[in-house]
Amino acid sequence: MNWLLPWLTLSLLTAGTGASAAYQGVDAAVQKAEYPSITLRIYNSEDYIANGDEGSRNLVEEFKAKVLAEDHVNLTVSYSTFDTNEIMLSNYETGAQSYDLICTSDYMVERMMARDMLVPFATGDARKTLYAHGYEGWEEDTYEAYGSPFLKSLYHGIKVAGSDGVAHEVNDYMRGYMWGTLGIMYNPGFSVYADRGLTPDQVKFDMTDYASLWDKKYEGTFQIKDSMRDSYAIALLYAYREDFSKLLDAYQNGRLSETDYNHQINVLFNNICHVDEFNEVATSLGATSPVTDGEIIDTIQDALSTLMGNSYGLEVDSGKTDIQTGNRTGIDMAWSGDAVYAIDSAEEYGTNLYYSVPTIGANIWLDAWVIPSSVQTQEYAQKFIDFLSTPEIAAANMDYIGYTSAVAGDSILEQAREWYDVRMPILYQYDEEAGDFVWNDDDELVRNEAYASLSDDEFNALLRTGKGTIDGETYDSWDDYSEKNDLGWTAVNLSYFFNDSLNEFQNNVDTVFYTDEYESITIDDKTITAGRAFYAQYPPQEIVPSLMVMEDYGEDNQYVLKMWENVKSGSVPTAVIVILIVEAVIILAVVIFFAVQHGISKGLRKKRRAERNS
Amino acid sequence: MSPNEAVAKPKKNSKFRLFFRLKRRYLAIPYAIFLLLFVVLPMLMIFWYAFTDKAGNPSGEAAVAFFTTPSKWSVLLVSLFLGVQTTLICLLLGYPAAYILANKKLNRNGVLVVLFVMPMWINFVIRTGATRDLLDWIGLSGGKYPWAATLIGMVYNYLPFTILPLYTTMLKLDRSQMEAASDLGANPVQVFFKNVLPQTLPGIVSASEMVFMPVMSSYVISDTLSEGKITLFGNSIYLNFTNSQWNSGSFMAVVMLVIIAITMLITRKFDRGDATARRGGGLW
């Protein structure tokens, strides 16, 4: 979110003065005096939308142009940015500014719902009524149609009650924007690991387990997030790893359905102080003594204190740069979006970074749009979401931001395939110099000459199966191609994310990707998958059931904050106290000494004066 | 000056003077507004939040929470510790340095002073980032030695603030007094303790003030150089504010104000009448 430098603010300034006009395929919206004017006020993280920089599309301007053309409305967009969700909330709470649309994280959506700060998105007929300035051109509720069913189901059932005590579905109040996981980014080639006798394969293997971070063999080589929620999450997963792996085991052996499994790990993950539900799950796993109130948070505090002692340090933003040079740190807790960026830019330093989501599960993050109750034009707030959630637009946005869009659909699938599918450069023309595929005038990829004569159906069949002639040789399948050419490809099916959102492409078939980034490593009869940017962008199917949503702590936030303060302040080293006391004594002694001396000389002077005067 | 003269002079151009006076008073208005908006009002708000609860009712909740939470005490202790150490080290390093700089024989054209002050021309966040890399390069990274790295960074950042006031006091050292002292039989050590030190005391006091207080409240340096392992008072307040704990955060800010007020009171005892002239007043 903040890795592409604050170009956004800059470009907005220039756009405001009409100096920048790098829109792609859109003429700058020329406002017409006879049309009504409406202002849409958007509040987003910095640099979190394609804005025309670096050859991207300017989505705000495109939206304004669409509104002008469809609705005959002069739309003005007032766009402001913030640093963190917490700053956004306090700015909004103090009421200095009001907005029509805010982009924030899942837990903050819940917090705002609990404080009656949000209004739900209108759907169906209500939506039609809402669109008073024109329904034509906005018929399709694009998020409904293309928002990833996977993410919707993940948040389905999470309810938050406002002050009236009535619980509402979070899904009705937010529209997903970007999502990802909190995982471990690491450099298996870090020199310290070689010195400690750890092979790269061993490191890759260890990074699928949170416990490695508590292990002395990784001491002083990793950074953790200086963020309460994220650190809490990994400490919880570590402290109760036995329970989590028992549940995983039950799921893998078919004793638990995927839904039940995901429900139960979420219960373990989300019960800080209310231990009844936690105990229910724990007892079913064979726990003999139930945990008591406050015990979980104390356990996590101990775990975090140990973790901090074992770490190189805490970071907010510097971690992804520290690991790239390859000589400061070897591991960094990272959000997947940052990891994709870091893995890419570390290659300049010759550092090969990897990303892993530990097998027992991980925290998922989702940034979403919400409509605050201060909304003045809900119509255009929702129309903007409709616009952003159009797969084609979402793909352009994803291309600029680099995170994973919460929208699925054909265009996003194509975008992901261009980025990661290793079959693409074989079948399509790739311009090494430009670092991009070659496009024709209809905005379609240009096939490689060898396949130019194939009919569309034949070409698609080749893409799907790999059966046919590739580079002059005949193959049965892509697996066959990979094997014969010793490429080490792995087939990855992203059906969990794309199924039921596709129009042109086929569920389960076209969602298959081939990647050369996956490595399979077996140690002690246990096999793990190590991956890189593709793994970070779309986690592999096998770990998807283990992804959890960490809900807002609600009232319990104060306990977590207290715990975090305890962890961060640590215990004062005895040396500090001793030195302070010694210094205080010395300073006091000097002061008293001078004061006494001063008093004595003053007394003497007085005496002398008295003698002189007498 | 006779009273006649005093009255006669302004009469000559009284209209101009009147106009000018009025104008001068107006010139103070922007600053008065600034003062009210950015100094008085925030201060009042801090006190308001410190002594109310979430609902806005008067309450000592935040105060009780502060004094009963060990983590807040340890943050306070650590901040005090770093503040005192940095001040002492800065004085130990800065005092002889200032003496040398003030010595016309050793520092003929003042180039050395510029060298000492030059790091201040670079933004301190950038400087701290560079210090982090430098410390890592010489093997003193915050990951391994958080305390040492933080102390070095603090001293590096605040040393110019120690040297400048000391330097300005030492420029005004009355050398004839020192000569008289040695002529009257004082050995160099006695000259230093009985003459030089008392003469430069105002400089020492203002140097300490300029280092101790900012170090207590700084957080960028400790955060960057200790790799987040040392939490100072400033970090703690920030953490509270970002978690909407306005009341406890504000109370911590009040505690900070009290500590600063106490140090001011103590150090003022050592100030002399003409101290303001001797201090490096141009800095603050």
Interface contact B78-A572, CB threshold 8 A = yes
Q: Which CATH architecture has domain B61-278?
A: Orthogonal Bundle (1.10)
Of the listed ranges A21-35, A488-502, B178-192, B218-232, the least confidently predicted one is A21-35
Domain extents in chain B: 3-50, 61-278
Does a structural domain hold residue A400? yes
- Report, in angstroms and rounded to the nearest whole number, the Rg of chain A calculated over CA atoms: 29
Task: Looking at the structure, tell me whether residues A539 and A580 fall in a common domain.
Answer: no
Q: Is B248 helix (H, G, I), strand (E, B) or coil?
A: helix
Which single residue is written with the structure tokens 């039989």? B185
Task: Looking at the structure, tell me whether residues A354 and A247 fall in a common domain.
Answer: yes
Quick check: ipTM above 0.85?
no
State the Cα–Cα distance between residues A341 and A536, nearest whole angstrom. 10
DSSP B18-35: HHHHHHHHHHHHHHHHHH
Q: Over 60: is that where the pLDDT of A568 sits?
A: yes
pTM for this entry? 0.84
What are the tens digits of pLDDT across the range A215-238? 999 999 999 999 899 999 999 999
Angle (CA) A593 A599 A601, round 5°: 100
- A contacts of B142 (beta carbons < 8 Å): 313
Does a structural domain hold residue A512? no
Does a structural domain hold residue A494? no
Closest residue, chain A, to B245 (C-alpha): A558
- A contacts of B72 (beta carbons < 8 Å): 565, 569
Interface contact A86-B244, CB threshold 8 A = yes
Residue A198 tokens, joined: 């750890």
User: Which strand (E) or helix (H) includes residue A113?
Assistant: helix A106-114
What are the tens digits of pLDDT across the range B101-149? 888 777 777 777 788 778 788 888 888 989 999 999 998 988 889 999 9
Give the pLDDT confidence score for residue B17 in this predicted structure. Answer: 63
User: Which strand (E) or helix (H) includes residue B134?
Assistant: helix B124-137
- A contacts of B250 (beta carbons < 8 Å): none
Interface contact B235-A568, CB threshold 8 A = yes
Quick one: average pLDDT of B227-249? 87
Task: Looking at the structure, tell me whether residues A276 and A382 fall in a common domain.
Answer: no
Closest residue, chain B, to A86 (C-alpha): B242
Give the pLDDT confidence score for residue A600 in this predicted structure. Answer: 86
What per-residue string of b and e applies to A573-590 under the rule 16 or more CB within 10 Å gives b? eeebeeebeeeeeeeeee
Does a structural domain hold residue A501? no
Domain containing residue A155: CATH number: 3.40.190.10
Quick one: average pLDDT of A29-51? 87
Of the partner residues A89, A565, A583, the one whose CB lies closest to the CB of residue B71: A565
Of the partner residues B84, B239, B241, the one whose CB lies closest to the CB of residue A580: B84
Quick one: average pLDDT of A602-610? 88
Of the partner residues A90, A314, A571, the one whose CB lies closest to the CB of residue B244: A90
Task: Looking at the structure, tell me whether residues A103 and A160 fall in a common domain.
Answer: yes
State the Cα–Cα distance between residues A128 and A50, nearest whole angstrom. 28
User: Could you tell me how far CA A520 lies from the centroid of its own chain?
Assistant: 25
Give the pLDDT confidence score for residue A236 in this predicted structure. Answer: 93
State the Cα–Cα distance between residues A278 and A280, nearest whole angstrom. 5
Residue A170 · residue A109 · CB < 8 Å: yes
Q: In the Cβ-directed half-sphere of B68, how many Cα atoms lie within 13 Å? A: 6
Task: Looking at the structure, tell me whether residues A456 and A529 fall in a common domain.
Answer: no
Quick one: average pLDDT of A111-118? 93
Amino acid at B189: V
DSSP A545-597: GGEEE----GGGHHHHHHHHHHHHH----HHHHHHHHHHHHHHHHHHHHHHHH
Does a structural domain hold residue A168? yes
Q: Over 70: is that where the pLDDT of A132 sits?
A: yes
Query: Across all residues in chain B, what is the average pLDDT?
Result: 83
Task: Looking at the structure, tell me whether residues A170 and A217 fall in a common domain.
Answer: no
Task: Looking at the structure, tell me whether residues A462 and A565 fall in a common domain.
Answer: no
Q: Over 50: is that where the pLDDT of B232 sits?
A: yes
Q: List the beta bridge partners of residue B215.
A: none
Counting every residue, how long is chain A? 614
Does a structural domain hold residue A202? yes
Closest of B168, B84, B48 to residue A578, by C-alpha: B84
Give the pLDDT confidence score for residue A493 in this predicted structure. Answer: 93
Task: Looking at the structure, tell me whether residues A279 and A342 fall in a common domain.
Answer: yes
Give the pLDDT confidence score for residue B19 in this predicted structure. Answer: 62
Does a structural domain hold residue A265? yes
Q: Over 80: is that where the pLDDT of B253 sits?
A: yes
Task: Looking at the structure, tell me whether residues A374 and A356 fall in a common domain.
Answer: no
Task: Looking at the structure, tell me whether residues A245 and A286 fall in a common domain.
Answer: yes
Rounded to a whole number, what is the distance in angstroms from the first to the last CA of chain B?
36
Does a structural domain hold residue A490? no
Task: Looking at the structure, tell me whether residues A111 and A197 fall in a common domain.
Answer: no
* Distance to chain B for A84, nearest Cα, Å: 9
* Distance to chain A for B190, nearest Cα, Å: 15
Question: What are the C-alpha distances in Å from A343 to residues A55, A156, A167, A205, A361?
Answer: 22, 32, 41, 18, 22
Q: How many domains does chain A have?
A: 4
State the Cα–Cα distance between residues A109 and A179, nearest whole angstrom. 14
* Distance to chain B for A437, nearest Cα, Å: 39
Angle (CA) A461 A463 A466, round 5°: 85
Please give the interface size between A and B, counted as residue pairs whose CB atoms are below 8 Å apart. Answer: 88
Task: Looking at the structure, tell me whether residues A134 and A196 fall in a common domain.
Answer: no
What range defines the domain where residue A17 resides?
Answer: 7-178+366-407
